[in-house]
Structure 1
Amino acid sequence: MGGLKDELLKAIWHAFTALDLDRSGKVSKSQLKVLSHNLCTVLKVPHDPVALEEHFRDDDEGPVSNQGYMPYLNKFILEKVQDNFDKIEFNRMCWTLCVKKNLTKSPLLITEDDAFKVWVIFNFLSEDKYPLIIVPEEIEYLLKKLTEAMGGGWQQEQFEHYKINFDDNKDGLSAWELIELIGNGQFSKGMDRQTVSMAINEVFNELILDVLKQGYMMKKGHKRKNWTERWFVLKPNIISYYVSEDLKDKKGDIMLDENCCVEVSGCGLSVCLPSAALCCSLLSMGFPSLTLLD
C-alpha cells in the first residue's frame, strides 16, 4: 500500500497546490470538500462528508494547510483505497484541476493529451520529496527513451551542454518545466509532431501501463472456432485483446499461467505461456502470427 499511496499523493499534491490560489499554503474548506468528494469517486472509496466536517470543526471556515488536510486524506481516503480503480481516470481528475493554472502559454509541439502523459510520467519518475522535481539523471533517462522510441540517435553532447546551462539554484525540473522541455522540440529536432506523440505514448504505455508489447495477432473463437484478428496488449501477467488498436471495444483478457499456450502458425509448434517474458521472446524471434489458445 505504501507504494500505491505515494503514487497517489503526488498527483493529489498537484491538485491541492493548484487550489491554493494565493500561494499561502492553504486551501478553503469548501474546495477541499469538492476535492475529497472527487477523490472518493474516482478511487471508488465511500465518501463520508461528516468525517470531513468533524476533522476540521476547530478551524471554522478558515483555510486548511496541506499538513492539516493530510491526516484526513490518509485516514478517510487513502487507507481505504484498493487497487480496483482506473488510474488514468484518477490522474485525469487531478490533471484537470492543475493544468490551466500551470501549463505554459507558450506554443508547444505536443498536444495537451501528450502533455498529460508527460505529467503522469513525471510523477512516476520524480523524487519522493515536495515540492516535486525530476532530477537531471531521470530527465536524461526519459529523453533517451523518447529518442529511442522516435527512432533517433541519442545526442549525449547536446544533453551535457543542456546540463551545463542548468540553473545552479535548482536541483531539477518541475512537471511543467519538463513538459515545456519536451514540448519545445529541443531534443526532437527533425521529428514531426506525430512521431513525437507516438514516442510519448509508447513510453507512457511502458512505464505507466506496464505494456510490454502490443500488436495484431490471430485469436480462435470460443463458440465458433474461426480465426479473428485482434489487437493484443501484453502486460506482465495478462494479455488483453480488442477489436482494434483504438482500445474502445475490449473483447477479453487471458491470464498468463500454466493453462495458457500458443500455437505458431505454419510450423505446428505449441508452447505453454506461464509468463509474458516467454511471449515476448517468441514474438521477437519472428513469430508475428502467434495464435493464443485460452
Structure 2
Amino acid sequence: MSALLKNVTNCIWHAFDSLQNKDVVHKSKLKVLTANIGTLLDLYGVEKGLDHYKSSAELTFEEFKHYLQHEVFSSQPKTTTLQVVREYETKISEVCWLVCRKHHLSRDKPVFDDESVFKLFRIFCLLADLVQDADAADRYVVVLQPSEAGIVAEQLVHCLGLRWDAADWEALGVSIGHFKWPAFLAVLEAKYCCEQLHAAALVEAVDEIYDVFIEDIIKKGYLFKRGYLLPTMREYWCVLQPCALTYYKSSAQKEQCGRIAIDEYCSVEAAAGEGKIQRFQLVTPERTFEFGTQDHKSRLQWVSALKQAAAVSGGAEGYQRRARAGRRGAGARREREARETRARLQHEVRARLAAEAQAQELAELAQQDNKKLEELKTTQTELERLLQEETQAKRDEEIVRALQARVLAEEWERREELERLQEEQNRMLEEERLKRKQFEILQAEKEAQYREAEKRLKELEEEKRRLDQELKAAQQKISKTDHTAKALHVQLRGLKPAVLRSCDRSRRAVSFMPTTKSSSDTLIDVRAIHCKVFDDDDNL
C-alpha cells in the first residue's frame, strides 16, 4: 500500500502542518491522527507504537511519515483494486481535513462554501508536490506548479461560462511562483470568482472539476441503451470512468441501473440503425452493448471517450495521476531540450567566435597562407551545398507529408463507403428476415388448414362408421322380419277358413291405411305378407 501513502501524503502533511509547533508535533497529538487513519484501514492500536518510536517526545514530518509507512500502511495487502484505493483516499482525506479545516476556512471574504473548499483541497493535494523548503533543508512544504494550477483554474473558468486568459495566468504564475494552498484558494476566489456569481453555479462548477480530477470521470451525459430482454432503446444518464461505464435513471445519480466494466480488451464499433438515433456498440469480453445518441457529433465524442477509457483502463493508479505524471515527464523533457538547445547555441557562439578569430588571423597571413584560404573556401562551398541539400530534403519531406495527408483523406472516404455498404447490407438482411417471417406465417396458416382438414376427415369417417352400423342393424332387422314372415306363412297354411276370412277382413282393412315412413312400416309389410299368403291359399 505504498501507493496509497504516496497518494495521501499531501493531505497528511496539511494535517501535520496544522498541529506542528516549530516544525515538530507532540506524539500525543499524532496518536489521535494515527488512530483515526488506522481505524479507517481496519487496524487498531497502531498508535501505541509511537511511544516506543524515537526517544524524543516530538516528531518531524519525515519521522512521522516513516512510522506510517512501516507500521501502518505496510500491514495492508500489496495488491488491491483501484476502487478500494480511492475509498481509502477519500476517508483519509476527510480525516485530515477535519484536523486542518479551521486553518483553511478562516478567510475574510469567502466565496466557496465549505464543501466546495474541501473538494478544491483534494484537487490541490492531488496535483501538488511535497518538496523541501528553500529556507530550511529539513522542512517540507506542499506546493503546486503554476502549470498545474492553471489547468484547474482554466477548467473552473470554463465551467462558470467565463473567458480564460492564458497570458494573464502566465504572468500571474511568474509573479507568484509555486502556489501554496492558501494562495491557490485566494487566487481562485479573488480573481476568477466573485460574489455576484450564483452560489449554485459555483457549487456545480466545483463538482464538475472534482468529478474530472478526483473521480476520474472522462465524460458523462445522456445515452440511449438497448435492453437485454426487450429490444427497445431507453435513455439513461451515463458516467464514464477509465474502468467502468455506469448508467443511472437520471442525472441525480441516485438510482444506479447498471455498471459495465471496461478494460483493454473492450472495443467500440459503429452500428447501423434506423431513425434519428445514431447508434454504436461497446464490445466487451462478456457481451455486446448497443448505445445511441441524438446526433452524429455526440456519437463521435462518446466513441472517442470510450476508446480513451479502454486505453487507460489498466494499472492500479488513477487516470489523472498518470496524466499528471505524463505532464511532468513532458515538462522535464521540454526543460532538458531547452537546456540542450541553450548549450548547443552557446557552443555555436563559441565556434563562431573562434571562426572569426581564425578568419582574422588568416586575413593577417593571407599572403603567406593562400592554400589554407582556398581550403576554407572549399569548405564553405561544401557547407552551402549541404545546406541546399538539407533545404531540398525539407521540401521533399513537406511533399511526402502532403501525399500522406491525401492518402489519409482517401482512406477516410473509402472507410465511409464501407460503412455505407455495411448499412445497406444490414438493411437487405433485415428485409430478408421480414420475408422469412411472412413465409413462416403463411406456412403456419397452411398447417392449421391441414390440421382442420384432417379433423374434418376423421369426423366424416366416424359418421361413416356410425351409418354403417345403423345400416347393418337395419339389415339384421329386415332379415329377422323375413324369418318371422316365413314362420307365419307356415302357420297360416293350417288355419281354418274362418280364420282365413278374418284375415281377409284384416287385409282389406289394412289396404285402407295410409303409407308412412314411421316405425310401423314393418308391421304394415308383415300384414301385407299375411294377406298375400291368404290369397295364395285361396288360389290353391
The TM-score range, normalised by the shorter chain, is: 0.7 to 0.9
- How far apart are 1:10 and its partner, in Å? 1.1
Greater relative contact order: 1 or 2 (C-alpha under 8 angstroms, separation 6 or more)?
A: 1
Residues 217 and 66 (structure 1 numbering): CA distance in 2 closer, same or farther, change over 3 Å? same
Q: Is the 8 A contact 1:219 1:230 kept in 2?
A: yes
- How far apart are 1:100 and its partner, in Å? 0.8
- Provide the residue aligned with 2:48 in structure 1: 53
Amino acid at match of 1:68: E
- Provide the residue aligned with 1:128 in structure 2: 130
1:200 corresponds, among 206, 212, 215, to 206
RMSD over aligned Cα atoms = 3.6
Distance 1:280 1:182 in 2: 38
Distance 2:274 2:106 in 1: 51
More helix by share: 2
- Provide the residue aligned with 2:19 in structure 1: 19
Residues 112 and 29 (structure 1 numbering): CA distance in 2 closer, same or farther, change over 3 Å? same
Matched length: 276
- How far apart are 1:228 and its partner, in Å? 5.0
- Provide the residue aligned with 1:148 in structure 2: 158
Q: Is the 8 A contact 1:126 1:134 kept in 2?
A: yes
Amino acid at match of 2:66: P
Amino acid at match of 2:19: L
Distance 1:64 1:249 in 2: 47
Q: Is the 8 A contact 2:38 2:44 kept in 1?
A: no
- Provide the residue aligned with 2:28 in structure 1: 30
Q: Is 1:187 aligned with 2:192? A: yes
Deviations 1:6-44 (A, max 9, x none): 211111111222222xx23333333322212221233xx
- Provide the residue aligned with 1:41 in structure 2: 39
Deviations 1:179-203 (A, max 9, x none): 122123x124675443333222222
- Provide the residue aligned with 1:216 in structure 2: 222
Distance 1:68 1:56 in 2: 13
- How far apart are 1:233 and its partner, in Å? 0.9
Distance 2:143 2:193 in 1: 22
Deviations 1:94-115 (A, max 9, x none): 2121111233321222111111
Q: Is 1:162 aligned with 2:172? A: yes
Aligned structure 1 segments of 4 or more residues deviating by more than 6 angstroms = 223-226, 259-265, 279-284
Q: Is the 8 A contact 1:230 1:244 kept in 2?
A: yes
TM-score (norm 1): 0.77
Amino acid at match of 1:46: D
2:60 corresponds, among 65, 72, 78, to 65
Q: Is the 8 A contact 2:279 2:299 kept in 1?
A: no
Distance 1:159 1:273 in 2: 43
Q: Is the 8 A contact 2:222 2:238 kept in 1?
A: yes
Q: Secondary structure at the match of 2:192?
A: coil
| Superposition map of 1:105-120 within 5 A | 105-120=107-122
TM-score (norm 2): 0.45
Distance 1:75 1:283 in 2: 55
Residues 121 and 283 (structure 1 numbering): CA distance in 2 closer, same or farther, change over 3 Å? farther
Distance 1:75 1:235 in 2: 33
Q: Secondary structure at the match of 1:162?
A: helix
Residues 141 and 57 (structure 1 numbering): CA distance in 2 closer, same or farther, change over 3 Å? same
Amino acid at match of 1:154: W
Amino acid at match of 1:31: K
- How far apart are 1:140 and its partner, in Å? 2.1
- Provide the residue aligned with 1:74 in structure 2: 69
Distance 2:122 2:66 in 1: 25
Q: Is the 8 A contact 1:241 1:250 kept in 2?
A: yes
Q: Is the 8 A contact 1:104 1:180 kept in 2?
A: no
- How far apart are 1:251 and its partner, in Å? 3.5
- How far apart are 1:153 and its partner, in Å? 2.0
Amino acid at match of 1:194: A
Contiguous gaps of at least 5 residues in structure 1: none
Q: Is the 8 A contact 2:15 2:99 kept in 1?
A: yes
Deviations 1:107-139 (A, max 9, x none): 222111111111111112212323001122222
- Provide the residue aligned with 2:102 in structure 1: 100
1:271 corresponds, among 281, 284, 304, to 281
Percent identity, aligned pairs only, is 21
Residues 33 and 283 (structure 1 numbering): CA distance in 2 closer, same or farther, change over 3 Å? farther
Q: Is the 8 A contact 1:110 1:196 kept in 2?
A: yes
Q: Secondary structure at the match of 1:233?
A: strand
Residues 283 and 48 (structure 1 numbering): CA distance in 2 closer, same or farther, change over 3 Å? farther
Q: Is the 8 A contact 1:27 1:64 kept in 2?
A: yes
Q: Is the 8 A contact 2:279 2:293 kept in 1?
A: no
Q: Is 1:91 aligned with 2:103? A: no
- Provide the residue aligned with 2:148 in structure 1: 138
Distance 2:125 2:99 in 1: 15
Q: Secondary structure at the match of 2:130?
A: coil
| Superposition map of 1:253-272 within 5 A | 253-256=259-262, 266=275, 269-272=279-282
Distance 2:297 2:68 in 1: 49
Q: Secondary structure at the match of 1:154?
A: coil
Amino acid at match of 1:195: A
Contiguous gaps of at least 5 residues in structure 2: 132-139, 286-290, 303-540
Distance 2:3 2:239 in 1: 24
Residues 90 and 57 (structure 1 numbering): CA distance in 2 closer, same or farther, change over 3 Å? closer
Between Structure 1 and Structure 2, whose CA radius of gyration is higher? 2
